[in-house]
């Protein structure tokens, strides 16, 4: 009996691993064949991947309703990335009627599992009052969590809140410190804002040379505003 259990777990691991290898190689139909094996298809990460493949039409005919079905399976199994993806389906209204309240529910579930995409989305929705009461302090909490979990864009949003005094005491110096954190991690918007801070001498000593340096960095990373 124990050998059967071991064999089953190995089969699951092999099908998921092989499917992921084929997917990375662009062999989507072959990958889907692996993912749909009875043992592999119960893996929440695989369910989420299947949902994405139906959304994009990779290896299967594009089918948004089917994508939602698989995202929901993975989300209900507690997979944070799928909870975020399911939230997007409700926010954008693909495969299901648009429903921002339902979107917020799933974004929150992802965020509560420390998913940085979910945390960023909760921060944005809370800061703008979209589908939820506007609350800058709550937004700041979510952005801080997202930064802790690796989302460099969060440093920009924290800096902006300090720069405007939304939910916190206005503090240009602290705003710049967060732009620096984001800029050093390669976040182009943070680099542009840091360049502007140096150019204007806002929150930091005015320095045209450093302003130009960070403007160039931002442009190199795709921020041409």
* pLDDT tens digit sequence for 19-60: 999 999 999 999 999 999 998 999 999 999 999 999 999 999
Inter-residue contact 134 to 128 (CB < 8 Å): yes
Q: What is the DSSP letter of 50?
A: H
Residue 30: count other Cβ atoms within 10 Å of its Cβ: 16
pLDDT at 119: 99
pLDDT at 4 (0 to 100): 41
> Torsion angle, CA of 169/203/180/114, rounded to 10 degrees?
10
Q: Which of 6-10, 28-32, 132-136, 186-190 has the lowest mean pLDDT?
A: 6-10
């Amino acid at each position: 009996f124990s050998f059967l259990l071991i064999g089953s777990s190995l089969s699951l691991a092999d099908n998921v691993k092989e499917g992921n290898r084929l997917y990375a190689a662009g062999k989507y139909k072959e990958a889907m064949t692996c993912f749909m094996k009875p043992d592999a298809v119960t893996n929440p990460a695989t369910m989420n991947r299947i949902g994405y493949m139906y959304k994009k039409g990779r290896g299967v005919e594009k089918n948004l309703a089917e994508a939602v079905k698989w995202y929901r399976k993975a989300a209900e199994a507690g997979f944070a990335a799928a909870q975020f993806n399911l939230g997007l389906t409700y926010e954008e209204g693909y495969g299901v009627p648009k429903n921002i309240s339902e979107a917020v529910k799933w974004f929150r579930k992802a965020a509560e599992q420390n998913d940085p995409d979910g945390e960023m989305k909760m921060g944005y929705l809370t800061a703008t009052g979209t589908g939820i009461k506007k609350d800058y302090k709550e937004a700041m909490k979510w952005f801080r969590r997202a930064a802790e979990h690796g989302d460099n864009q969060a440093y920009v949003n924290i800096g902006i809140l300090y720069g405007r005094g939304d939910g916190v005491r206005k503090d240009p110096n602290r705003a710049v410190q967060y732009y620096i954190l984001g800029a050093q991690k390669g976040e182009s918007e943070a680099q542009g804002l840091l360049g502007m801070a140096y150019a204007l001498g806002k929150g930091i000593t005015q320095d045209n040379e450093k302003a130009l340096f960070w403007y160039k960095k931002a442009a190199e990373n795709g921020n041409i505003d």
